[in-house]
Amino acid sequence: MNEPLTPAHLEQFRHLSTCVVASAIEGFRVRLPNTGFANSSVGCVFPDLPVMIGYAATAKVRSSSPPMEGRGYYYERTDWWNHILTIPAPRVVVIQDMDHPPGLGAFIGEVNANILLALGCSGMVTNGGVRDLNAVKAMPFQMFAGNVSVSHAYAHVFDFGGTVEIGGLTIRPGELIQGDRHGVLSVPLEIAADVPSAAQEILLWRQKLVGLCRSREFSVERIRETLAEPER
């Protein structure tokens, strides 16, 4: 198993957009360019909050029907908190809503977000619903979700610690997850330590290209020459 990144490496990711990280990952050719990120069915709830980075702690929930046991309160199943603590910090909770369609009730609101923050989670990702937006943003706690719901309905955890799928992205416990206003992606652990430096090279290449577009030396030929240079 790959070792967790150093705090310095994690801090580098907080200063990079998911867009440039996605481009950097492509350069390592460890996966296809059309994989590794959630599709537009999952959106950033707080676009102006800082970049989220952390290791995935996974769970599955339902909200449209009560659980087989218990009263249906989403605080009854607390054993999944122990699973969260087995994941290296910082953590990102990734919750798959298994209802069809997902998102009738919101599993994460003000109280659960505060619990997750206390457990070392920097944010969460779900294909389901969230609520209490003003209170959660003020914490602050980042959320990526499929929708917003006024109620928790019967929201409850029925499984945790396994593989989940959010917006077409398959996520396993311990995977490195980054998110910002553009969306969510996974960062392959085997290359994660090298991604920030590769991303910086891409940013320099883009800066050169944009600078040329804005300069008096701009020409179609110069642009073609610059585009022929590798991003990294």
For residue 63, is pLDDT > 60? yes
Question: One-letter amino acid identity for 132?
Answer: D
Helices (H), the chain: 7-13, 18-28, 79-86, 110-118, 133-138, 195-213, 220-228
Average pLDDT, the chain: 93
Query: Can you read off the two tokens belonging to residue 180?
Result: 């910002």
The whole model's pTM is what? 0.93
- pLDDT at res. 71: 57
* Residue found by looking up tokens 């046991």 in the block: 69
- pLDDT digits over 94-130, tens only? 999 999 999 999 999 999 999 999 999 999 999 999 9
Domain 7-193 has CATH 3.40.120.10: no
Lowest-confidence pick of 17-21, 33-37, 206-210: 206-210
Q: Which of 16, 30, 53, 4 is nearest to 184 (CA)?
A: 53
d(CA 26, CA 110): 37
Q: Return the domain boundaries, the chain.
A: 7-193, 196-228
- pLDDT at res. 232: 52
For the CA atoms of 42, 116, 3, 173, the dihedral, rounded to the nearest 10 degrees, stands at: -50
212: Cβ contacts below 8 Å, ≥ 6 apart: 218, 222, 223, 226
- pLDDT digits over 149-183, tens only? 999 999 999 999 999 999 999 999 999 999 999 99
Q: What is the DSSP string of 10-68?
A: HHHHTTS-HHHHHHHHHHHTSS-TT-SB--TTSEES-TTSPPEEEEEEEEEEE-SS--S
